[in-house]
């Protein structure tokens, strides 16, 4: 089962539940397309490094999911392209180190960046 991660930015002007429903919409799409959602991570409101269509802040979401056939990806990307609530999205295939990194991050093994190296060091 290949593991993928899609990170996208939702328009901050929308209401809170609108934003939640956007994220929910894509997790449902993954489940509907026989993919398995591993984790939905709401990174939250962040300042953008540069303006994206007249917005300087955005709400970041990152969905990690598994799916054998890649058929899920083009469908989802097409839906995201059409959705105006999403400013930008990026789908990435995770290799085994990426998967391990994300799991460690969730279990709190990888702390702040400075601790990141020491923790990594202690772990290896």
Using CB under 8 A as the criterion, which residues of the chain lie in contact with other proteins when the complex forms? 7, 9, 43, 46, 48-50, 52, 58, 60, 62, 88, 90, 92, 95, 97-98, 100-101, 105, 113, 116-117, 120-121, 123-124
State residue 111 phi and psi, 5-degree precision: -85, -145
The residue (of 25 and 57) whose beta carbon lies closer to other proteins is: 57
Minimum distance of other proteins from residue 95's CB (angstroms)? 8
How many whole angstroms separate alpha carbon 48 and alpha carbon 121? 32
Minimum distance of other proteins from residue 41's CB (angstroms)? 9
Minimum distance of other proteins from residue 113's CB (angstroms)? 5
How many whole angstroms separate alpha carbon 51 and alpha carbon 47? 9
Do the Cβ atoms of 61 and 23 come closer than 8 Å? yes
The residue (of 78 and 90) whose beta carbon lies closer to other proteins is: 90
The residue (of 17 and 112) whose beta carbon lies closer to other proteins is: 112
Within the chain, strands assigned E span: 2-10, 36-52, 55-67, 86-94
The residue (of 79 and 99) whose beta carbon lies closer to other proteins is: 99
């Amino acid at each position: 089962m290949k593991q993928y991660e899609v990170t996208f930015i939702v328009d901050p002007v929308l209401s809170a539940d609108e934003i939640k429903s956007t994220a929910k919409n894509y997790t449902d799409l993954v489940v509907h397309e026989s993919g398995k959602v591993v984790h939905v991570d709401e990174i939250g409101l962040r300042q953008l490094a540069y303006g994206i269509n007249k917005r300087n802040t955005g709400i970041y979401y990152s969905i990690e999911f598994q799916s054998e056939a890649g058929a899920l990806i083009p469908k989802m990307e097409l839906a995201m392209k059409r959705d105006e609530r999403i400013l930008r999205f990026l789908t990435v295939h995770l290799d085994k180190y990426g998967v391990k990194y994300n799991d460690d991050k969730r279990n709190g093994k990888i702390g702040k960046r400075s601790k990141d190296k020491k923790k990594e060091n202690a772990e290896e």
